Structure 1
Amino acid sequence: MTVRVLIADDETLVRAGFRVLLERDERIEVVGEAADGDEAIALTRAHRPDVILMDVRMPGTDGLTAARRILGDDRLPGVKVIMLTTFELDEYVYTALRSGAVGFLLKDVSPDELRHAVRVVAAGQALLAPAVTRRLIDAFAGGTPPPPGVAALTGREREVVAMVADGLSTAEIAGRLRMSPATAKTHTNRAMTKLGARDRAQLVVFAYRWGLARPPGR
């Protein structure tokens, strides 16, 4: 299955570079390029890409605003957004996640990591850059009072949440726990419902916030 990608960045050379890198993978097709948020919204409506690589900072309508409008549009179901930035500022991460973005990468990502991110997000997984994950861990160190949904999680659901936070895909979780991918997905969805997580990216955040996953190196 070919993953259809839209690139939104105000720098022509950046867009061209990403296109070349992505299209080295025959499973990825770049269907359009946008120079600002408004153009990204218009091209998304026209081409219905599977994944959008969206720069945070663009003139006029910025990437965060464009992502929020796209992901909040009922006429655009299934579109996934990966935010790209040269910065690691916390407010970008939190705003992007609240808007519904399921990926957040820094622009110094390697070519292989970029292509991997597109494929992972298209498959319905969340993906956060390691630097972003570390910031989330630091922000939620010590945690906050957990909601009732945490206590309602079964032992198996807790295992699955921890594995999601470790970056495992549904197929990898299924292999580790010796269950079908459908069963692994069911456990993930039930955990998301109990915790009030909109998607896997939020599930990762909640896992660190409420001690359901062990932060790397801690």
Structure 2
Amino acid sequence: MTDCITVRVRADDPVSEAGLTGLLRPYPEIRLLHDDPGAAAVTVVTTDAVDPAGYQLLRTVQQSGPSRLVLLVPRLQDHQVGLAAECGIAGIMWRAGATAPRLKQVIQAVARGDGHIPPDLQERLLRLVGRLYGGQHGPGNARMAEREIAILRLVADGLDTSDIAHKLGYSERTIKGALHDVMNRHQLSNRAHAVAFALRKGLI
């Protein structure tokens, strides 16, 4: 039992948490914890989406102890990938492919210090990185963080500060600060100018 991995399961509803616990219970190499979250080497979090509620769940788990996080989710939109990364996610699995043996393998990989990203998400990440740091932007252009791009996309969709804050799970102050930083860094006069700049650069 000395090689057991201590694992905690968290979900946004009790049925999902019970189902995930049931998948892992048969494995002797995994010791499930129900108390003392700080003692877990790995925490598996399952949520329907990294929306404000899902993001808050991830942040709560991240702050509860030093365990490495595995996220089990149906899909992720591009801006949600950045939100998950902010929460220190070490492994991501799609729910559709989350068989018990595969989940155990991912937990073991994360516990060793490795990461896990689904192949199709890896391709999307490469495209995102290419858009952010690709040669078409030119060496003199400052970069934008994924959070800033997500905010500008929602500004372009016509959302106001409070709606953006609710959708992304940030405070209104954080949204205003991020937009202010973008406009100062790129010498933009207002939000419309910031959206036009991001469109010209192919960021949104």
TM-score (norm 1): 0.51
Identity %: 18
Aligned equivalents of 2:36, 2:122: Cα separation in 1: 28
Is 1:118 aligned to 2:120, yes or no? no
Q: Partner residue of 2:125?
A: 136
Aligned equivalents of 2:91, 2:117: Cα separation in 1: 5
Q: Partner residue of 2:26?
A: 24
CA change 1:120–1:137 in 2 (3 A) is same
Is 1:88 aligned to 2:90, yes or no? no
Superposed displacement of residue 13, structure 1: 3.4
Higher CA-based Rg? 2
Q: Partner residue of 2:46?
A: 55
Q: 2:16 aligns with which of 14, 35, 42?
A: 14
Residues 94-105 of structure 1 correspond to what in structure 2 (within 5 A)?
94-105=82-93
Residues 180-191 of structure 1 correspond to what in structure 2 (within 5 A)?
none
Which amino acid counterpart does residue 71 of structure 1 have in structure 2? Answer: Q
- Stretches of structure 2 that go unaligned for 5 or more consecutive residues are 136-204
Q: Partner residue of 2:7?
A: 5
3-state SS in 2 of match to 1:136 = helix
Aligned-pair Cα RMSD in Å:
2.8
Aligned equivalents of 2:62, 2:21: Cα separation in 1: 23
* Contact preservation (8 Å) 2:7, 2:32: yes
CA change 1:48–1:63 in 2 (3 A) is farther
Superposed displacement of residue 72, structure 1: 5.0
CA change 1:62–1:6 in 2 (3 A) is farther
CA change 1:56–1:21 in 2 (3 A) is closer
Superposed displacement of residue 95, structure 1: 0.9
TM-score (norm 2): 0.54
- Stretches of structure 1 that go unaligned for 5 or more consecutive residues are 33-42, 147-218
How far does the alpha carbon of each residue in 1:111-147 deviate from its partner, in whole angstroms, 9 at most, with x for none?
221110111111111111223212212322366169x
3-state SS in 1 of match to 2:21 = helix
* Contact preservation (8 Å) 1:104, 1:132: no
CA change 1:137–1:117 in 2 (3 A) is same
